[in-house]
Structures are given as structure tokens and as C-alpha cells.
Structure 1
Amino acid sequence: MQFIVIGRDGTDENALERRMAAREAHLETARKMYESSNWLYAAAILNDEGNMAGSMIVCDFESRDALKREWLDNEAYVKGNVWETVEITKAAVAPFWARK
């Protein structure tokens, strides 16, 4: 089952600092999720100043529960209080993007 996950960073003065502190761990998880075909593609969301202010991930997991258990429960941006909100929406990815 495919999903679009949008994580929006906090807007306080330390938000970017928290993101940068958790970024290496986040990228390591991203690499593993991509190699396992759970992540199809992802991008940082930029604010008007061009700074990272969120993330968008298109992913494929068995279920919403599996998505949370196998990824989000251990996501550095969640554990590090980077993402203030996380929106999970079911999606249907075009066949040429799906890797499974």
C-alpha cells in the first residue's frame, strides 16, 4: 500500500537547528528505506527563505500500522521533535515509479 507522508517542521527559532542535529540519522534511515523499496522517493520542503522546513516521502508499506512500526516509530525527525505535524495519506503511485 502506498502513502504520501508530509512532515512539517516546527516554526520556533530552534526548528532548523533540531533538523540539522537529526539530519544524518534521518538520511541513514532514508537510505535503508530506499534500499528496501519502502521509500520510492522523497524531498525536503523549503520555506520562502529556501531553508528546509519539512519533508515529503512517497512510500510503500504493507499497511499504515507497518509504516508506523517499521519507520515512523524510529524516525529521527519524529524522535528529535523536528516534525511538528505528520500527515499520512493513502496514494496510488504510477506503475513506473513503484519498485516492488
Structure 2
Amino acid sequence: MQFALICRDAPDALAKRLATRDAHMANIHVMKADGRIIDGGAILDDDDTMTGSVVLCEFEDRKALDAYLETEIYAREGVWEKIEILQIKRVKWKDQ
């Protein structure tokens, strides 16, 4: 199943986000390599300050997604205050 995660940071979470970013990115790179992460990036405000994340991902089912979120450092450490989870179906591009 494919999902889009819209993750909004808690107020004043930037310092915590930056302190945990290396661990977050290391895990994301592993998950990209094994196919669970499709793409993603930071949500920016008008001053280009990170205020959240968008993650496109693929898991066997919602239970597997929930298990990932239990281990995701931004979720565990309270960087992400609100996570909207949308089931999606990606476009199959002609060159893929």
C-alpha cells in the first residue's frame, strides 16, 4: 500500500528537528534503498524554515506503516505534532 504522510511540526520544534535530523536522514536513506520510502522532503514556511515533512512511502499494510511511525525519531521525539495519513496510488510513468 502506498501512503502520503503530511507531518506538521510542533510549535518551536526546529531545534529538536535539527538535533535529530542526522538520525532521521540515516534511517530514511536505508528505507529509500529498500523501497519503503518513495520520496519526501521538508515543508518550508515563507522564511524557508522547516515546519514539517511530506513523505511518500510504501508498506505492506497500514499496520506496517504504524510500526514504522513508532520507530521514526521525529514522531518519537515530538518533532511531528500532527501526522495526516492518506492512502494513495502513484502514477505509473511511461518510463518506469
Structure-2-length-normalised TM-score: 0.92
User: For residues 76 and 19 of structure 2, what CA distance do their matches in structure 1 show?
Assistant: 12
The alignment-based identity, stated in percent, is 38
Q: Does 1:95 align with 2:86?
A: no
Residue 75 (structure 1) aligns with: 72
Cα deviation 1:40-63 (Å, max 9, x = unaligned): 100110011110000000011011
Cα drift, residue 38 of structure 1: 0.5
User: For residues 40 and 77 of structure 1, what CA distance do their matches in structure 2 show?
Assistant: 18
Aligned length: 94
Task: Tell me the SS of whatever aligns to 1:6.
Answer: strand
Task: Tell me the SS of whatever aligns to 1:49.
Answer: coil
State the AA in 2 paired with 1:45.
Answer: I
User: For residues 95 and 38 of structure 1, what CA distance do their matches in structure 2 show?
Assistant: 17
Structure 2 regions of 5+ residues with no counterpart? Answer: none
Structure-1-length-normalised TM-score: 0.89
Task: Tell me the SS of whatever aligns to 2:29.
Answer: helix
Cα drift, residue 66 of structure 1: 0.6
* Equivalent residue in structure 1 for 2:46, among 45, 48, 73: 48
Cα drift, residue 90 of structure 1: 0.3
